Amino acid sequence: MMSSPFVSIPRVRLSASGGSGSVVLAYPAWRSSLEAGVKPAFPPSVVVQVKALACELPHRFGLPLSRFSVAEIRHEVLRQGLIAEISGVTLWRWLTQDAIRPWRYRTWIFPRDPQFLQKASPILDLYQGLWNGTPLTLRDFVLSTDEKTSIQVRQRKHRTLPPAPGRSSYVEHEYQRGGALVYIAAWDVHRAKLFGRCEAQNGIAPFDRLVAQVMGQEPYRSAHRVFWVMDNCSAHRGAKCVGRLQKQWPSLIPIHTPVHASWLNQIEIYFSIVQRKVLTPNDFGSLAELEQRLLAFQQRYEKIATPFRWTFTRQDLVELMAKLKTKEAAAA
């Protein structure tokens, strides 16, 4: 590991994230000193300690912070006496070498279902065109379904202004609530076909209406098997749901995702597109306008849609679960 050579780097004001444009100015001086054979001022062991500190959660040091910035890492490094003096630019360069960005974060979903592997594997197989190790036929279909609930109508107190030279769109911050509806949809995984409807509320009856809307038309009506991937919400949960649906549609095979595993349901990808393209910013005059916009976008999207490129397989899940199990055992 290369430590930083001792060079004169002008102090600059760091942003909230710790980044700085002065790195570009500092780099030539750093490179010249390195080529000239200047003895490094910081031994590799110090660099390692600083990077280890940056990879810790701040509260473990008794700090009232949720995450570090470069300026806060520098303050803690000096407080702990690891280094007598160091610039923020040097710290930023060290962290950049290993792509350590403690000021950033992302949410993640940890498997909680004790039968996660057993429940998730058949879904991943279906996405790959398999069922019980056998390829699906032309008369087999895979649908992913869910509800996007509580979509509000926000009637802005001033009309939204379109973009203009030198500025972006203006959306009034204050609004009046104009009610809410539920958007229930199904996505044909391999054929990239969409089916959806808007309902006043969620429940068994609204979901069954969507199922009838899909199963009542070809090619699903005369299909050999129609697999419906769904979560465990009250509208389609457990053995009662399976019995109810198969009594009316014998070719329908409900496949429930594990608990806390919405990422396995491909319809969520489409819902994220709807959120970005239709519902952000939320500015609708009425429930009727919201419904019209959702269903019109559904038709528009289907014309250009292709199957989602799903690459995560059963084997990938097996390896992931084994890795998580190993880490849990080590932590214990």
d(CA 62, CA 65): 9
> pTM of the entire structure?
0.79
Name which of 6-15, 79-88, 208-217, 281-290 the model is least confident about: 6-15
116-320: which CATH topology? Nucleotidyltransferase; domain 5 (3.30.420)
Q: What is the pLDDT of residue 107?
A: 86
Report whether pLDDT(227) > 90. yes
- Taking all residues of the chain, what is their mean pLDDT, rounded to a whole number? 89
d(CA 254, CA 188): 14
- For 267-313, what is each residue's pLDDT tens digit? 999 999 999 999 999 999 999 999 999 999 999 999 999 999 999 99
- For 139-183, what is each residue's pLDDT tens digit? 999 999 999 999 999 999 999 999 999 999 999 999 999 999 999
Percent of the residues in the chain that have a pLDDT greater than 70, as a whole number: 88
Q: What is the pLDDT of residue 109?
A: 81
Q: Give residue 40's pLDDT band: very low, low, confident or very high (50, 70, 90).
A: low
Report helix, strand or coil for 38: coil
Domains of the chain, by residue range, sit at 23-97, 116-320
Residue 117 neighbours by CB distance under 10 Å: 16
Q: What is the pLDDT of residue 108?
A: 83
User: Measuring CA to CA, how many Å separate 202 from each of 250, 259, 282?
Assistant: 24, 19, 21
Q: What is the pLDDT of residue 15?
A: 43
d(CA 230, CA 110): 19
d(CA 206, CA 237): 14
